[in-house]
Amino acid sequence: LHSFPTDALPIWSARQPEGVIVQLGCGLETAFNRNDNGRTKWYGVDLPDVIEYRKTLLTESKREGYIAVDAFSDLWLIQIREEIGDAPVLVTASGLFYYFEESKVLGLLKRFLSYGDVEVVFDTVNKSGMSMMRKKWMKKVGHEDAKMFFYVDSAGTLASKIGDNVRVLAEEKYYRYINKKGLDLTTKISMIVSDILNMVKMIHLKSPT
């Protein structure tokens, strides 16, 4: 997949000036560097070896802290709430959930959406998109053996599975956020078809708080 669209991040920061942004599975993502408004606190969460490598290339700033734990652990949730109190939180997950069973993703969403005022934005595919990724995309990038499981046909259905009156704020076509300038015609057509069929999308959920 392309780089995680971040247009919504500065908008959210402006709407929630006292809030914090958490990047799950941050890897070498540079969203903070591209969207820092000089005020919002950010956290990057990833496995210890990933965070250790990240620090060699992207050092922590005064407003960006790294947490070296499994994203599916409760430890990052506990640490962040202890540090920020009841401040609003936006969690982003870029290219993360695909590789886990639905039950595991649902368990994580249920937990952190119950931690006060929390929103989550993540990329996903529908069932057709998952089939396409398994057959073509992963083979193209040399990872045809990678196992992929999680997909979402309907954000509303997903929210009902999470329960507790979780709200769907948006379910949008992924490639509408991608700058297509300079891309070859075949790639542009693939993106257009994907958006028409809603194969790849962004989902934005909010806790009932």
**Per-residue model confidence (pLDDT) at position 199:** 83
CA pair distance 173, 202, nearest whole angstrom:
6
**Per-residue model confidence (pLDDT) at position 17:** 77
**Per-residue model confidence (pLDDT) at position 28:** 93
pLDDT at 107 over 70: yes
Instruction: Give backbone dihedrals phi and psi of 104, rounded to 5 degrees, phi first.
Output: -75, -40
**Per-residue model confidence (pLDDT) at position 2:** 35
Q: How confident is the model at residue 34 (pLDDT cuts 50, 70, 90)?
A: confident
Query: Which of 4, 22, 130, 129 is closest to 67 using CA atoms?
Result: 22
Query: Which of 44, 119, 52, 40 is closest to 76 using CA atoms?
Result: 44
DSSP conformational letter for 163 = -
Higher confidence at residue 184 or residue 70? 70
Mean pLDDT throughout 159-184?
87
pLDDT at 182 over 90: no
Q: How confident is the model at residue 139 (pLDDT cuts 50, 70, 90)?
A: low
Q: How confident is the model at residue 9 (pLDDT cuts 50, 70, 90)?
A: confident
